[in-house]
Amino acid sequence: MAEAREHPALALVPWLALGAADVYLAYSFTAPPSTTRVLAELALVLVLGVVVRFGLPSFPGTATALPPLIPLFSLAATQTPRSLGAIPYLVGLLGMLGVVAVPLMKRRGVPWWLSASLAVAVTVGCYAAQGPLPLTQQIVADTTWPTQQPALPPPADAGPPVILITIDTLRADAARQMSSVQRLSERGAWWDAAISTSSWTLPALASIQTGVMPGEHGAGCLTGGHCQGVRDDVPTLAEQLAARGYTNVAIVANPWATAQNGMARGFHRYHPLGSVNPRRLLFIGNPLDTAHHQDAEVVLDLATDHLDALTARGGSFYLWVHLLDPHMPYLNAERPEYRSLTAEVVRSVGMLSAEDRQALRDAYDHEVAVLDRRLAAFLDEVERHGLFERAVVVLTADHGEEFWEHGGFEHGHSHHREVVQVPLVFTAPGVAPGRRDGLPSLLDVAPTVRAIAGLSADGQDLRRALPADRIVTSQGNLILWPGCSARDAGTAVLIDDCGADDERIRRYDLVADPGERAPLPVDGTHRVQWAAEDVVAPTRAEAAPQNTEALRALGYVQ
């Protein structure tokens, strides 16, 4: 009887399985690799399979599934935290290359140590080509797997579509120079500046999404590094719109905006690009000149895909896009060292020369200009879908940035105007374009959207005139002390350490001193001072886990 022979193609099945697993994992994350790199990766895996199976017939193990199983160890390693993932990745890839390189070179008379050195060099090269951040710097908890994507609700006509664009660290004066902001301003209502509810991201974004102050929604960091998210009993804008029938999608690039901090509540699809490094392919990797996963190019490409899908399916939707580009490190900086430079490093250096300070401000302005061009392309897509005529489009920021106007740098430590003043512009059906008077707050975004969507505003509707005597407040810092402040049209009162026995209070006349350079005496008789002293800090609640690796990359932690 003739002996049954294995078909040669069957020997490549384990290698095909390896390639399929690699590609599946890559596409499981929110910023998958390009089709070209995927095809190149599959081709390389198959070439390795042919070389191992048919080029080394006398080498032990080549006729089994052992060689492709070795790099599977590396694939598993890419899903682990940075502190654990590098060693398994290197060992797994080196093991597979060793299986191929050592016997192949031995046939040609190459010493084993030279072929082993080649395997090591290729392994290190593959690892070094994985992108601006280390391969395994990611958090598994925020991963969205294709098989676990929640089903979207049926389309419903519950109100006009809502597009909220929030930009991290965008000063009001810098925003006014952006052509994309000017373009929106020509179509909708805008103010010279709005006031953020905090000097840093988490409490400010939580206020945008809830319409209440940090003392009520609870999100922020208290003393001792205790950080917590939005309180469970505080409804978010997304939850309220979802209950009305909206389909909600968010793409956010800051690692403070996570599900652990309550920011994903009410969203049917939530893409935390700030907390997840996109999975790199095992061999081809992510070239160093590929856009970083927190870059506006990646964020807005994903937002455009969702915009196309949401408009195609019809019905009401809420799309929130949070962009990070003006935040350090400046990923598009012309000086390479600025692409990894964080504010934590700048603070540790201390006194910088005037030239260095100006160079950092120039790098910030360049980042804003790059963002502006990319945002303009996204607004083209909004216009192409006819959404300017039928949708609510809001653009604002979580906070600004200080460049030593008051002796400090960055944000999260001061309530001076350069930190708490942010842009605010919105277009909506029936809203006449033009500049508006009054002093708006980030608290007004959610009430305005609620009112337009047919819900109770429960706050200031920006379609209505703002009171001339309005006072707005801000609360909280991330570093130094828990500051608070209050402002009306002519006065600002800043308190460095709210609630302390020796509160350091400064009052500024914003008419005579718009730059807040000359503090005036306080005597306890001014209503703005009373408002500042009445600002309530969040009460301590259960701590929320944070992605310290991602926060460290942005300079939030050491």
Cα dihedral value 156, 161, 167, 171, nearest 10? -150
Helix H or strand E segment including 318 = strand 317-323
Query: Is pLDDT above 80 for 155?
Result: yes
Domain coordinates of the chain in residue numbers?
Answer: 8-128, 156-465
Q: Single out the residue of 373, 393, 378 nearest to residue 308, CA to CA.
A: 378
C-alpha span between 54 and 12 (Å, rounded) = 10
Under the banding of pLDDT at 50, 70 and 90, the label for residue 292 is confident
Over residues 169-190, the pLDDT tens digits come to 999 999 999 999 999 999 999 9
Over residues 382-426, the pLDDT tens digits come to 999 999 999 999 999 999 999 999 998 999 999 999 999 999 999
CATH architecture entry for 156-465: 3-Layer(aba) Sandwich (3.40)
Please give the span between the terminal C-alpha atoms of the chain, in angstroms, as a whole number: 72
Q: Which residue has the higher pLDDT, 221 or 60?
A: 221
Residue 558: the pLDDT is 64
Residue type, 466: L
Helix H or strand E segment including 487 = strand 484-487
Q: Tokens for 412?
A: 């999260």
DSSP states of 242-285 = HHHT-EEEEEE--TTSSTTTTTTTT-SEEEETTT-PPPPPSSS-
Peptide bond into 111 cis (omega under 30): no
- Mean pLDDT of the 130-151 span: 39
Query: Is pLDDT above 50 for 2?
Result: no
- Between CA 554 and CA 533, with CA 192 as vertex, the angle to 5 degrees is 70
**Furthest-apart CA atoms within the chain: distance in Å:** 108
Q: Poorest-confidence range of 38-42, 90-94, 244-248, 296-300?
A: 90-94
Place of tokens 């605010």: 424
Report the chain's C-alpha Rg in angstroms.
Answer: 27
Torsion over CA: 50, 51, 55, 58 (sign): negative
Place of tokens 């682990």: 80
Residue 236: the pLDDT is 98
Under the banding of pLDDT at 50, 70 and 90, the label for residue 288 is very low
C-alpha span between 401 and 403 (Å, rounded) = 7
E-strand spans in 368-483?
392-397, 402-403, 409-410, 421-427, 434-435, 472-475
Computed over every residue of the chain, the mean pLDDT equals: 83
Let me know: does 283 contact 45? Beta carbons within 8 Å: yes
Residue 134: the pLDDT is 32
Let me know: does 315 contact 156? Beta carbons within 8 Å: yes
Torsion over CA: 363, 368, 374, 376 (sign): negative
Let me know: does 328 contact 554? Beta carbons within 8 Å: yes
Name the percent of the chain lying above pLDDT 90. 57
Helix H or strand E segment including 104 = helix 82-107
Over residues 485-529, the pLDDT tens digits come to 999 999 999 998 887 766 789 999 999 999 999 999 888 889 999
DSSP states of 113-131 = HHHHHHHHHHHHHHHHTT-
Report the relative pairing of strands 392-397 and 421-427 from DSSP bridges.
antiparallel
Q: Single out the residue of 524, 543, 540, 542 nearest to residue 532, CA to CA.
A: 524
Helices (H), 400-539: 417-420, 445-452, 527-533
C-alpha span between 188 and 426 (Å, rounded) = 5
Let me know: does 252 contact 322? Beta carbons within 8 Å: yes
- Mean pLDDT of the 475-490 span: 91
Read off the pTM.
0.80
Q: At what angle do helices 354-384 and 296-313 cross, to 10 degrees?
A: 20
Q: Single out the residue of 474, 191, 205, 227 nearest to residue 320, CA to CA.
A: 205
Over residues 72-115, the pLDDT tens digits come to 555 555 444 343 344 545 555 555 555 555 665 666 666 766 66
Residue 83: the pLDDT is 38
What is the phi/psi pair of residue 243, to 5°?
-65, -25
Q: Give Cβ neighbours of residue 33 (< 8 Å, ≥ 6 apart).
A: 26, 41, 278, 280, 281, 284, 286
Q: Single out the residue of 101, 1, 86 nearest to residue 52, CA to CA.
A: 101
C-alpha span between 493 and 533 (Å, rounded) = 9
Q: Single out the residue of 449, 317, 301, 432 nearest to residue 375, CA to CA.
A: 301
Over residues 208-220, the pLDDT tens digits come to 999 999 999 999 9
> What's the Cα-to-Cα distance from 535 to each of 209, 397, 414, 456, rounded to whole Å?
20, 22, 15, 25
Let me know: does 428 contact 463? Beta carbons within 8 Å: yes
